[in-house]
Amino acid sequence: MARVIISAGHSPTDKGAVVGDLVEYDLTRRIVDELEPMLAKYPKLELKRIPEGLSLPQKILWINQSGYTGENNDIAVEVHINDSDGTEEGVECWQAERGDNASKDLCTKILDAVCKESGLKKRSVKSEYDHQFRRLGYVHNTQTISGLFEIGYMDHPKDKEILTSDAGIKKLATGILKGILAYFGLKEGEVNKDPIAKPAFPVHTQPDQYSVPFGITPPADSAPSTMPSTMPKGVASPYSSTTPSSYPMRPRVQGAVPSQPIMPTMPMSSAPTMSVATPQEKQEEITRLYQKVLGRNPDAAGLGYYANSQMSEAALMKMMVESQEHQNLIKAAKDYVTVKGQLERLEREITSLRSRMADKDSEIQSLSAYLQEKSRELSQMTEERKASTSEDNVEKASRENGRMKRNDNSHGNGTPNHKPKSFGVFEMVKKLKK
């Protein structure tokens, strides 16, 4: 038996878009209120509606605890309403992953039927990877074949007319019904015909090939294809009954999960943990991880991406550690150590060059002192030589006188007191040679 989960986008605490007196959550509930009894007329389609008041993580947990799976061709459809600047109009759908898969098939069938039924402009089926959050928890982290539908623009006159009239709401609900029937190979009114039990397309395509912010590459095991398709053994799901009376009641405490005590604990390695943290807690956790791993606060895109991905803290941390940004940080740290080493080596070289320069300085000083000493000696010797030369002259003059006197009294025996003229220079060279 094919099984269908329907839900109205947003919650009493997160009402979605608000344009004038129009509130997205009010409109999505109106459409799903209209759709629910229409689908209930098909006993071959088991129907569940996600209780109002659950946050997105709680909805994902609720779906994954329902026992509904893509392999069984079970589907989940959530209704949202778009808004922009008043110029955009029509219907668009967000499929899981990318390419031809069962989610795209479901989205295409519903998009075609809603536009045909209501006359709203047909936009397109888009890959969640092209969404600003890079992936959408409702379609990415649910085990069912899921589609997220943006049915019309609240701020476009034509769309608003349909969204705010009973006839318009009925057309939209009928369109969704016909799309779901078409997906299961049924026509309107074929209430007892068996729906197609196997998806016509693979449940998963390109589970990992999406662009993520800041060069962060998702780890291979973050793909939803590895999520357990069945409940852990021994854990009873409160959602397996087909009677509406067994639906969990709206939580009395804001943010609490109705089934807290029997929440399954999924093994960390095989599935993202379906944390039920409040958006505030989730943002704080993400900011703390950013600071821890990347040393900075996340920007808006990063916060949106991680808050929406519903990843466990461990998976998130792993993704950040494996990110390009983190690799760059490590490389920068290594570069710093290398450069610091080079700087220290250069500083040591400079110090040794400085001390060698100081050595040379003192050598030059002592050489210069030696030269001064030599120069002083040289001038002293020159003085001595000058003095000796004038002595010689005096002697010579006196010898001349003596000879003249001796010429008077024939050959005298006068012996001149002779000093070698070269003595000064000879001594100087000898001293320098030392």
The contact set with Zn ion (CB under 5 A) reads: 9, 16, 80
Instruction: Give the residue with the Cβ less far from Zn ion, 74 or 150.
Output: 150
Q: Which long-range contacts (CB under 8 A, 24 or more apart) does 382-388 make?
A: 382/424, 384/424, 385/423, 385/424, 385/425, 388/419, 388/421, 388/423, 388/424
Distance in Å, CB of 6 to Zn ion, minimum? 15
**Complex with Zn ion: residue 80 or 156, whichever CB lies closer:** 80
CB 80 to Zn ion: min, Å: 3
Question: Considering beta carbons, is residue 28 or 103 the nearer one to Zn ion?
Answer: 28
Burial level of 50, CB count in 10 A (0-12/13-18/19+)? buried
- Contacts of residue 178, defined as CB under 8 A and 6 or more positions apart, other chains included, come to 113, 116, 117, 188
The least CB distance from residue 215 to Zn ion, in Å, is 29
Cα 263–chain centre separation? 31
Q: What pairs with residue 19 in β-bridges?
A: 22
Pick between residue 81 and residue 181 the one whose CB is nearest to Zn ion.
Answer: 81
Output the CA angle 349-350-351, nearest 5 degrees.
90
Task: Give 9 or 302: the residue with its C-beta nearer to Zn ion.
Answer: 9
**Cβ at position 152, least distance to Zn ion in Å:** 12
The upper half-sphere exposure of residue 137, i.e. CA atoms within 13 Å in the direction of its Cβ, equals 25
Q: Least distance in Å: CB of 9 to Zn ion? A: 4
In angstroms, what is the minimal distance from the CB of 53 to Zn ion? 16
User: 3-class SS at 257?
Assistant: coil
Round to whole Å and give the CA distance between 267 and 350.
59
Nearer to Zn ion among residue 16 and residue 213 (C-beta) = 16
Give the whole-angstrom CA distance, residue 32 versus residue 38: 10
* Half-sphere exposure in the Cβ direction for 198 (13 Å, CA): 3
Angle at 283 between CA 331 and CA 127, to 5 degrees: 80
Q: Which is nearer to Zn ion, 97 or 150 (CB)?
A: 150
Smaller CB separation from Zn ion, 19 or 317: 19
Q: Which is nearer to Zn ion, 151 or 216 (CB)?
A: 151
C-beta of residue 121 within 8 angstroms of C-beta of residue 89: yes
Give min distance, CB of 49 to Zn ion, in A: 17
Place of tokens 């040794």: 352
In angstroms, give the least distance from the CB of 16 to Zn ion. 4
Residue nearer to Zn ion on the CB measure, 89 or 323: 89
Question: How far is 236 from 247, CA to CA, in rounded Å?
Answer: 14
Q: Minimum distance from CB of 7 to Zn ion (Å)?
A: 11
Tokens 């689908």 belong to which residue? Answer: 39
Q: From the centroid of its chain, how far is CA 242? A: 43
Name the 3-class secondary structure at 208. coil
59: closest CA among 127, 128, 126, 141? 141
| Look-up of token digits 């026992």 | 67
Report, in Å, the least distance between residue 87 CB and Zn ion: 19
- What is the nearest approach in angstroms of Zn ion to the Cβ of residue 58? 16
Phi-psi domain of 410 (left: phi exceeds 0; alpha: psi -120 through 50; beta: other)? left
Pick 28 or 273: Cβ nearer Zn ion: 28
Instruction: Give the DSSP H/E element, type plus range, for residue 19.
Output: strand 18-19
Residue at shortest CB range from Zn ion: 80
Contact 266, 273 (CB under 8 A): yes
